[in-house]
Amino acid sequence: SLNPLPLVLPSVTKKNFSPSFLWQPFKYLKTAIIFLINLLFSKLNIPMTSLCGKRKTKHMLPTGFKTFLGHSVKELEVLMMSNKSYYAEIAHNVSSKNRKVIAQPTIKITNLNARLRSEENE
């Protein structure tokens, strides 16, 4: 089967930079400057600078989907309507019996094989 495509496919770039080690007096300089500008000129808009990717793709997987943590079958029925933009993620405390019920071809699940064994021990 082909992998599903999301409804909107933005370019997702996850940047992983190691933190820059600054000399100790300059360690909190960036946050101190932002704090002082907020204190003195509270109505001034400050551009946010960061080493992360885009804010729109913050909680997005590299495939372009977002994850939805579901604890029961009823919660994951919502994803049948919006399965073009979300992947389901089954919570850790859901039993294997309920996981078999949840595993349907219409819902895409990230941790599908968790708690499920290929062969039952007899």
Two tokens, residue 36:
């002082």
pLDDT in tens, 29-45: 667 777 776 677 665 55
Predicted TM-score (pTM) of the model is 0.59
Give the mean model confidence (pLDDT) for residues 115-119: 74
Pick the range with the lowest mean pLDDT from 21-25, 52-56, 109-113: 21-25
CB-CB contact of 73 with 64 (8 Å): no
- pLDDT tens profile 78-115: 888 777 888 899 999 999 889 888 887 778 889 988 88
Coil vs helix vs strand at 86: strand
Tell me which DSSP letter residue 39 carries. Answer: H
One-letter amino acid identity for 82? S
Looking at per-residue confidence, does 20 or 52 come out higher? 52
- Residue linked to tokens 């996981």: 99
Q: Return the domain boundaries, the chain.
A: 55-103
